[in-house]
Amino acid sequence: MTEADLTQVFPPRNQPSEHPFAQYVRILGKGPRLSRSLTLAETRSAAAMILKGEVEPVQLGAFLCLLRVRTETPEEVAGFALAIRDAMAKPAVEPAVDLDWPSYAGKSRRLPLFILAALLLAENGVRVAMHGSEGHTAGRLYTRQALVSLGIPAAGSLAEAAAELGARNFTYVPMELLIPQLGPIMELKWLLGLRSPLHTAIRNVNPFDAGASLMSVFHPNYRTVHCAAGVLMGMTTLACFKGDGGEAERRPEKPCVVEGLQDGVAFSEEWPPMAAAEAEAEMDPTALALLWRGEIAWPHGEATVIGTAAVALRLLGRAGRPADAEALARRWWGERRRLAVPSP
């Protein structure tokens, strides 16, 4: 690229002072000795500028990559999540939502059986608000697509989400309804080649102010980050575990370490395996309805649903021990209304 080309892309500016966002890029990128992580207040301020469109594209790319390379701290996750909460539409829901369920990863190798776990909870009176986005990573089946196979559309408005919660104790709200500014930032993944800190922080947002939040991570070390960020945000009840493909879904053939807060008290416990491993199945979302209605035999799929629901039940205080939570989830699964979802 010639100097003339650079001048065309980055035209010279006669600015008397530096851009106000430059300070945050400098804090993160000044070098191995002088750079540092952002404080919660600094991150909240920087994220607010991003959401208001007050940041140049080159600054945004540099900021997101620097945060990602350094690995987000709890203060940075909390600051970003609080800025999102400050800027988003506030859903008004009565009675209150019981369980916040962020779903932003999508599934690439196994069906999103966690959706059936959420519906099982909802059928038994737990008010579940699921929210997410799609399209930021190729080759994945996202929650909105899978719900279509169950005859459950995504909410088209916040009023519609409230009505769905009243009718079936469950709603799925696309992120763009809550805060449309985040969509273009999420989609930068294909351009930058990296997940941005937004993919981490969005899990802590809890847009409906639910009493409890169920989070998942790709990498185990992020469990502690999400929990510590939750404390900084004033959250009192949350659970975080390494879910299948980054979604809040147990792998029943493996031990599952769950960390979190219950009524403000930190906990960490390991749930034992509950099923044998199985080969990966075809990614056909119509199998979700078939499994719910008992029209296919799929022991591993049932164990996934029961195990995932059990983690939520334990978090919600419906059971005192993991074994009790699994027993309750298994009973609910056996008593489910088989015609609660339509034929595919």
Q: Which amino acid is at 209?
A: D
- Report d(CA 204, CA 133) in Å as an integer: 15
Q: What global pTM score does this model have?
A: 0.91
On whether the CB atoms of residues 205 and 89 are closer than 8 A, the answer is: no
pLDDT band at 94 (very low <50, low <70, confident <90, very high): confident
Q: What is the pLDDT of residues 196-213, one digit of tens each?
A: 788 899 999 999 999 999
Q: What is the mean pLDDT of the chain?
A: 90
Is pLDDT above 70 for 10? no
Please, what are the domains in the chain? 16-87 (1.20.970.10), 99-334 (3.40.1030.10)
- Report d(CA 251, CA 303) in Å as an integer: 9
Nearest to 152 by CA among 134, 172, 132: 172
On whether the CB atoms of residues 298 and 279 are closer than 8 A, the answer is: no
Predicted confidence at residue 192, as pLDDT, reads 75
Predicted confidence at residue 17, as pLDDT, reads 83
- Report d(CA 123, CA 117) in Å as an integer: 10
Is pLDDT above 90 for 84? yes
- Report d(CA 304, CA 322) in Å as an integer: 14
Is pLDDT above 90 for 271? yes
Nearest to 142 by CA among 160, 129, 156, 130: 130
Is pLDDT above 90 for 238? yes
Give the helix/strand (H/E) hosting 217.
strand 212-217
Average pLDDT over residues 323-334: 97
Average pLDDT over residues 176-193: 84
Residue 319, judged by CB atoms within 10 A of its CB (0-12, 13-18, 19+), counts as middle
Predicted confidence at residue 32, as pLDDT, reads 82
Of 4-13, 24-33, 68-77, 226-235, the poorest mean pLDDT is in 4-13
Predicted confidence at residue 12, as pLDDT, reads 59
